Structure 1
Amino acid sequence: MRGRKITSADVAARAGVSQSAVSRVFTPGASASPRTVQKVRKAAAELGYRPNVIARTMASGRSRIIGLVVAYLDNYFYPEALEKLSKLLQDRGYHVLLFMASQTAENVDDIVERILDHQVDGIVAASAGLGSELSARCRAAGVPVVLFNRSQDDPSLSAVTSDNVAGGRRVAEFLLAGGHGRIAYIAGWEGASTQRDREFGFLAGLARGGAALHSRAAGEFRLETARTAARVLFAGPDRPDAVFVANDHMAFGVMDVLRHELGLSVPGDVSVVGYDDVPPAAWPAYDLTTVRQAATRMVAETVAILIDQIEQACDEPRRIAISADLRVRGSARVPAGWSR
């Protein structure tokens, strides 16, 4: 067979099975007996056969490709979550194509057009939003879209997030219980639903406890911008005694400024709380009190919705907000009755 392309017919002949049996072995979700799988894979390895994925998907009418739109990967939360998402989709027989968009969605139109050109079966938009016109275009093309860690007002879009409102409210309750009276907030990017909902819950929690926000600055979910925000907030004599930072990525920069530039003690002079519970939050260098996003559950719900819409033609939009717990560590004063 040297000099020519090995085919499924060659594998079938070597394994002593039908060509359709070879096809079933290499088709995700198709059934074949363990003995048949073993024989076919052994013959394929001996012959150096690789199935033609493109031909198979063209025959099935599905590409089994999911377009994944991501605005930025600086935040530790996204690489970890996207690894889980990619693996779970691969386990279901799908392949992932990653597309980078700007955080402000300036180039999302072009990116969605490119995604649709790849004949994807579905789209997951993580940390990036789609306008109503774009979502309508995807629906017209029969391509379901699920938003991950982001929501929009468009009622036709499915979305999976943590319960950001409840998480923000929990932070306010925690800081007030710790006796803080000058509580600040460093916001993320103003156009993000995660930012909006976390701040809404936080302010509602403060108001419920009879307190008001002492000061506020915008960090835009960017490390250096958050550092600048911290310098501004803590420059004067009436500095905050606690600060809630809209995600851990920014909180690390804020803590570095407080400790190493301004000489403040965390939590002796100021308590710091973040949101996400990314791996470095538990490192001794930060020991950050933070709201934990359940990435594994969020990924599982996202994939379940997407697969239902692709394989079961379930077009009913679903909105899921998964509860988020406060992880109490050493960056904030621990109120009486709260355990670490």
Structure 2
Amino acid sequence: MMADKVTSLQVAQRAGVSQSAVSRVFTPGASVSKKTAAKVRDAAKDLGYRPNVLARAMVKGKSRIIGLVVAYLENFFYPETLEKLSNALQEQGYHVLVFMTKQTAQNVDGVMEEILDYQVDGIVMASVAMSSDIAMRCQQAGVPIVLFNRSQDIDGITSVTSDNYAGGRKIAEFLLAGGHERIAYIAGWEGASTQRDREAGFRMALQEAGRDIFSRAVGEFNSDKARDAARRMFDVAPDQRPDAVFVANDHMAFAVMDVIRHDLGLRVPEDVSLVGYDDVPPAAWRGYDLTTMRQRANTMVEETVDVLMEHIQSPETACPRRVAIDGPLVVRSSARIPTGWPSNKSTR
């Protein structure tokens, strides 16, 4: 026979505090002294008491839950960044529910329906697309959304990204300064704003110098597809082969470098200069030593949490924003270094 469920009143009596004090101890973000919290938690442990967080949330109309939607975790950028994001939200007194989905808007919409059933207080979408219909539904439900490392042309939606356009420009300027004649590009997923903006900035800087992309392939932010793209691009006659390539993220750039060096026997950077984007930890490993654009993950996380809290706490006055955070080009040995350009230092 099951024992009667322990109540917060019993915990209060055991701890010698008020019932409201017990409630505050188990309410994230509530003010309570360390001494009171210790007494309440000790009494709760002795009695086997567990608060019904969801029931309290339904009464108060706030779940203290943030839905975090993620498309894929193969890219080193995401596990580390999402850990920082989850920790930052927890410091604000919120629990995080992670939902996995595919990158397309159709797949995301199904997941979003499920998220709304959890009565979440806000949603962070990391590198995934969404439809304007589901965005409107969230707005009608009073659930703010922040797009992380992605932007979309949907009214009322806030996004936080690096300045991908400026990053693409910096990479083109660096390769041009290095004297390269045949500069190529391996694109990410064509539906991503990050891909679109990086390529747009890259192309513009080349055009301003009277140049164009020598050859282009698509890797879709996928290692296997990036390898195939590299073989098609570089397994050709020397005069048809690029002497430099910008790969739209580091995750693909590692695969491309492996093909160039190990499958095709070319030298990096003597035969081919290679630049990536993100500056994930393996980029600094001696085996890759990849020149790459750094995304300021800590700053992106801080901006995301700040703007999300603003929308949750002051929905009447909060305005949608598009935050683009500039980052430095980190120069290592995978690309020819222009004369006078500092090596192994973050620039600009």
TM over 0.5: yes
Measure, in 1, the Cα distance between the counterparts of 2:273 and 2:104: 31
Q: Does 1:215 align with 2:218?
A: no
8 A Cα contact 2:106 2:130, kept in partner: no
Structure 2 equivalent of residue 229 of structure 1:
229
Q: Does 1:163 align with 2:166?
A: no
Q: Does 1:324 align with 2:339?
A: no
The number of residues matched between the two structures is: 339
Q: Deviations over 1:38-59 (max 9, x none)?
A: 2222322333322221122122
Q: Does 1:128 align with 2:131?
A: no
Structure 2 equivalent of residue 258 of structure 1:
260
Measure, in 1, the Cα distance between the counterparts of 2:73 and 2:138: 25
List gaps (5 residues or longer) in structure 2: none
Measure, in 2, the Cα distance between the counterparts of 1:315 and 1:142: 12
Q: Does 1:173 align with 2:173?
A: yes
Measure, in 2, the Cα distance between the counterparts of 1:226 and 1:139: 38
Deviation at 1:107, TM superposition (A): 1.3
Deviation at 1:236, TM superposition (A): 1.8
Measure, in 2, the Cα distance between the counterparts of 1:331 and 1:106: 38
Cα RMSD, aligned residues only: 1.3
Provide the secondary structure at the position in 1 that maps to 2:106: coil
**1:17-36 matches, cutoff 5 A:** 17-36=17-36
Structure 2 equivalent of residue 308 of structure 1:
310
Query: Which amino acid in structure 2 is aligned with residue 166 of structure 1?
Result: A
Query: Which amino acid in structure 2 is aligned with residue 261 of structure 1?
Result: D
Measure, in 1, the Cα distance between the counterparts of 2:206 and 2:121: 44
Deviation at 1:282, TM superposition (A): 0.9
Deviation at 1:36, TM superposition (A): 1.6
Moved more, 163-172 or 20-29: 20-29
Measure, in 2, the Cα distance between the counterparts of 1:148 and 1:308: 16
Q: Does 1:105 align with 2:77?
A: no
Structure 2 equivalent of residue 269 of structure 1:
271
Deviation at 1:63, TM superposition (A): 1.1
Q: Deviations over 1:18-66 (max 9, x none)?
A: 1111111111121122322222223223333222211221221111111
Q: Deviations over 1:182-239 (max 9, x none)?
A: 1000000111000000000111111223322111111111111111111111122220
Q: Does 1:293 align with 2:262?
A: no
Moved more, 30-39 or 290-299: 30-39
Structure 2 equivalent of residue 244 of structure 1:
246
Query: Which amino acid in structure 2 is aligned with residue 58 of structure 1?
Result: M
Taking structure 1 as the reference length, the TM-score comes to 0.96
Query: Which amino acid in structure 2 is aligned with residue 318 of structure 1?
Result: R
Moved more, 9-18 or 265-274: 9-18
Query: Which amino acid in structure 2 is aligned with residue 295 of structure 1?
Result: A
Query: Which amino acid in structure 1 is aligned with residue 83 of structure 2?
Result: E
Q: Does 1:336 align with 2:344?
A: no
Query: Which amino acid in structure 2 is aligned with residue 263 of structure 1?
Result: G
Measure, in 2, the Cα distance between the counterparts of 1:30 and 1:329: 48
Deviation at 1:261, TM superposition (A): 0.5
**1:57-68 matches, cutoff 5 A:** 57-68=57-68
Q: Deviations over 1:314-335 (max 9, x none)?
A: 4410110001111111111111
Provide the secondary structure at the position in 2 that maps to 1:203: helix
Q: Does 1:283 align with 2:304?
A: no
Provide the secondary structure at the position in 2 that maps to 1:106: helix
Measure, in 2, the Cα distance between the counterparts of 1:293 and 1:86: 18
Provide the secondary structure at the position in 2 that maps to 1:107: helix
Q: 1:45 to 1:16 in 2, by over 3 A?
A: same
Deviation at 1:102, TM superposition (A): 1.4
Measure, in 2, the Cα distance between the counterparts of 1:173 and 1:224: 29
Structure 1 equivalent of residue 138 of structure 2:
138
Deviation at 1:256, TM superposition (A): 0.5
Deviation at 1:153, TM superposition (A): 1.0
Measure, in 1, the Cα distance between the counterparts of 2:155 and 2:220: 26
Measure, in 2, the Cα distance between the counterparts of 1:291 and 1:209: 21
Provide the secondary structure at the position in 1 that maps to 2:97: strand
Q: Deviations over 1:139-185 (max 9, x none)?
A: 01111111000001113110000000000000011111111111000
Measure, in 2, the Cα distance between the counterparts of 1:337 and 1:146: 41
Using the aligned pairs only, state the percent identity: 66
Provide the secondary structure at the position in 1 that maps to 2:138: helix
Provide the secondary structure at the position in 2 that maps to 1:273: strand
Measure, in 1, the Cα distance between the counterparts of 2:223 and 2:130: 25
Provide the secondary structure at the position in 1 that maps to 2:275: strand
Deviation at 1:97, TM superposition (A): 1.5
Moved more, 253-262 or 41-50: 41-50
Provide the secondary structure at the position in 1 that maps to 2:211: coil
